[in-house]
Structure 1
Amino acid sequence: MAISTRLNEYLQDNEVNYELVSHPHSFNSLSSAIAAQVSPSQLAKAVILEDHEGRKMMAVLPANHKISLGALGDKLNRDLHLMKEQAVYQMFNDCENGAIPPFGGAYNLEAVYDDLLVDAKEVYFEAGDHSSLVHISRKDFVKLIKDAKHLRFSHQNIH
């Protein structure tokens, strides 16, 4: 699998040119960035959340950051938690487990984006497998997320 079907259709429907970047197999977005020699701050990762009413949403943040569920929940006035992995795998059945593209619109999901991503000069993200990233321009990324909420809800991972 190089790029998920729904992601490819979404990018084509929005007239976004992209480049596929192959890399050695990885297990998470941070290791994908390292394997592809891409700055982790430019790699957008998706985290799937659910609130107490069962409403699902996608939160998108840089690969080298960790989501603050409390901060995001406070800003959205929602009690959020991580969605169960098995349910996420079913929702993103055109992707390998854990390789979720960061566009809620491609999957009919509400999405919120961390403000830090809007400042990236270029953006990379999972193509739907653990061996490919998609590379798009900042301009196209901003175009794709123009109707979504933009907030600050993450903090940098410190190793």
Structure 2
Amino acid sequence: MADSVFSRICTLLDGRQITYGVLRHAPVFTSEEAAAIRGVPLASGAKALVCKIDEWFVLIVLPADRKLASKEAKKSLGGKSLRFATKEEVLEIIGLTPGSIPPFGSLFNLPTCCDRGLAEQPQINFNAGDHGISVSMTFAAYEQVEQPTLGSFAE
């Protein structure tokens, strides 16, 4: 599944004629490890979290140096309850493990919500369906391709 997610990302970006970079590296499991191996600021990481708001799932993308602001996110999304999806739910819904999820909910039929703070980064970086494959692209290109709902989701 990991290779097919990476292939799907490349197909999506190539189809839109988006310039992006690919870095293959030793597997990383934290945002800090990923930033270090990529040689980029932690804030440029696009951390993708599968969350359950009321009865539906959503992909929330944050700058990697921030954490989910549950109350703000719940309010922005108009929900009554918000929680992280369990590891089992993530595996069932998108077929990946946490930490390897790309910021493209559209690939998994999930709405994508992105914290406005990530837009402050000219270049963003993320794992591409694999703990050992990173993709980098401009935030503007990401926004053009994914068209996420922008809001206040991080603290």
* TM-score, normalized by the shorter chain, greater than 0.5: yes
Q: Which residue of 2 aligns with 1:149?
A: 149
User: What is the aligned partner in structure 2 of residue 116 from structure 1?
Assistant: 117
1:29 aligned partner: 31
Q: Is 1:69 aligned with 2:84? A: no
Overall identity of the aligned pairs, in %: 24
SS at match of 2:51: strand
- Native 8 Å contact 1:123 1:135 kept in 2: yes
Q: Which has the higher helix share?
A: 2
Instruction: Say whether the 8 Å CA contact 1:99–1:130 is kept in structure 2.
Output: yes
Cα distance in 1 between the residues matched to 2:16 and 2:92: 25
- The letter for the 1-side match of 2:151 is L
Q: Name the SS for the 2:88 alignment partner.
A: helix
Distance (Å, rounded) in 2 between the aligned partners of 1:24 and 1:36: 10
Q: Is the 8 A contact 2:63 2:118 kept in 1?
A: yes
Q: Cα distance, 1:51 vs. partner?
A: 2.2
Q: What is the deviation of 1:97?
A: 5.0
> 2:46, 2:118 within 8 Å by CA — same for their partners in 1?
yes
Offset of 1:138 from its aligned partner? Answer: 3.0
Runs (4+) of structure 1 exceeding 6 A deviation are none
Q: CA deviation at 1:116?
A: 0.8
TM-fit CA distance, 1:28: 2.1
Equivalent position SS for 1:7: helix
TM-score (norm 2): 0.87
Alignment of 1:8-157 (within 5 A): 8-53=10-55, 55-78=56-79, 79-93=81-95, 95=96, 97-146=98-147, 148-155=148-155
Deviation at 1:120, TM superposition (A): 0.7
- Structure 2 alignment gaps of length 5 or more: none
For residues 94 and 78 of structure 2, the distance between their equivalents in structure 1, rounded to whole angstroms, comes to 26
Distance 1:97 1:121, change over 3 A: closer
Instruction: State how many pairs are aligned.
Output: 152
**How far apart, in 2, do the equivalents of 1:96 and 1:84 lie?**
10
Superposition RMSD in Å: 1.9
Q: In 1, Cα distance between the equivalents of 2:124 and 2:74?
A: 25
CA spacing shift, 1:101–1:30, aligned 2, 3 Å:
same
| Kept in 2: contact 1:6–1:107 (CA 8 A) | no
C-alpha deviation, 1:75, in angstroms: 1.8
| Partners of 1:15 and 1:104 in 2: CA distance | 20
Identify if the C-alpha distance between structure 1 residues 65 and 126 changes in structure 2 by more than 3 Å, giving closer, same or farther.
Answer: same
SS of the counterpart of 1:67?
Answer: coil
Q: Which amino acid letter does the alignment assign opposite residue 135 of structure 1?
A: S
